[in-house]
């Protein structure tokens, strides 16, 4: 296991912990995107560029975006005070 690989694993673990520790939903969606980038970097280091592509497109762009959209919708539906 090279130093680069160890670094990537730590990065994934760190950003993954960040997703859990971020308690505010909007921040959590963004933390999920950051975790997706870290995972994609790990996949590139492990020479799986196809999986990295999917991870970037789905894990970093689409899924957090849908979370954000749903969060906005929850805010919109709240009755006016």
Q: Which residues bind other proteins (CB under 8 A)?
A: 1, 5, 46, 49-50, 52-54, 57-58, 61-62, 65-66, 69-70, 72-73, 75-78, 80-81
Q: Are 15 and 34 in contact (CB under 8 A)?
A: yes
Of residues 5 and 7, the one with the C-beta less far from other proteins: 5
Rounded Cα gap, residues 11 and 34, in angstroms = 10
Query: What's the closest the beta carbon of residue 8 comes to other proteins, in angstroms?
Result: 12
Query: What's the closest the beta carbon of residue 61 comes to other proteins, in angstroms?
Result: 4
Residue 52 vs residues 7, 20, 41, 68: alpha-carbon distances, Å = 17, 22, 7, 23
């Amino acid at each position: 296991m090279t130093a680069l690989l160890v670094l990537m694993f730590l990065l994934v673990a760190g950003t993954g912990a960040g997703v859990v520790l971020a308690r505010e939903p909007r921040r959590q969606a963004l933390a999920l995107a950051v975790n997706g980038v870290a995972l994609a970097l790990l996949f590139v280091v492990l020479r799986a560029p196809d999986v990295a592509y999917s991870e970037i497109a789905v894990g970093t762009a689409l899924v957090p975006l849908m979370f954000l959209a749903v969060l906005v919708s929850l805010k919109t539906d709240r009755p006016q005070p």
